[in-house]
Amino acid sequence: MAKVDLVMFEEEYKQLQEIISRLQADSSSKVVFLVDKNGQQIAAAGDVRSIDATSLASLTAGNVAATDGLAKLIGEKEFTLLFHEGEKDNLHISIVGKRGILVVIFDMNSSLALVRLRVKKTSRDLQEIFEKVEQRAQNVVGDASFESPFSEITDEDIDKLFGD
Partner 1 sequence: MTFINYASREINCKIVYYGPGLCGKTTNIQWIFEQANPEKRGKLVSLATETDRTLFFDFLPLDMGTVKGFKVRFHLYTVPGQVFYDASRKLILRGCDGMIFVADSQRPRMEANIESIANLATNLKENGFDIRSIPYVLQLNKRDMPSAATVEEMEHLLRFRNEPMIEAVANRGTGVIETLKACARQILMELQKS
| Cα 94 to Cα 101: distance, rounded to the nearest angstrom | 6
Residue 152 sits in the site that holds partner 1 (CB under 8 A): yes
**What sign results for the dihedral spanned by CA atoms 144, 150, 151, 152?**
positive
**What sign results for the dihedral spanned by CA atoms 138, 142, 144, 150?**
positive
Closest to partner 1 by CB, 77 or 162: 162
Neighbours of 105 (CB within 10 A): 24
User: Considering only residues 25, 50, 59, 112, which one is a binding residue for partner 1 as defined by CB under 8 A?
Assistant: 59
Residue 108 sits in the site that holds partner 1 (CB under 8 A): no
Residue 40 sits in the site that holds partner 1 (CB under 8 A): yes
Residue 77 sits in the site that holds partner 1 (CB under 8 A): no
Closest to partner 1 by CB, 10 or 108: 10
Strand order in the sheet with 100-106: 41-46, 31-36, 100-106, 90-96, 81-85
Number of residues that bind partner 1 (CB under 8 A): 41
Residue 155 sits in the site that holds partner 1 (CB under 8 A): yes
Residue 71 sits in the site that holds partner 1 (CB under 8 A): no
Closest to partner 1 by CB, 68 or 89: 68
Class of residue 137 by CB neighbours under 10 A (exposed 0-12, middle 13-18, buried 19+): middle
Half-sphere exposure of residue 39: CA atoms within 13 angstroms, side-chain side: 10
Give me the residues that bind partner 1 (CB under 8 A), please. 1-10, 13-14, 36-40, 42, 52, 54-55, 58-59, 61-62, 65-66, 68-69, 148-153, 155, 157-158, 160-162
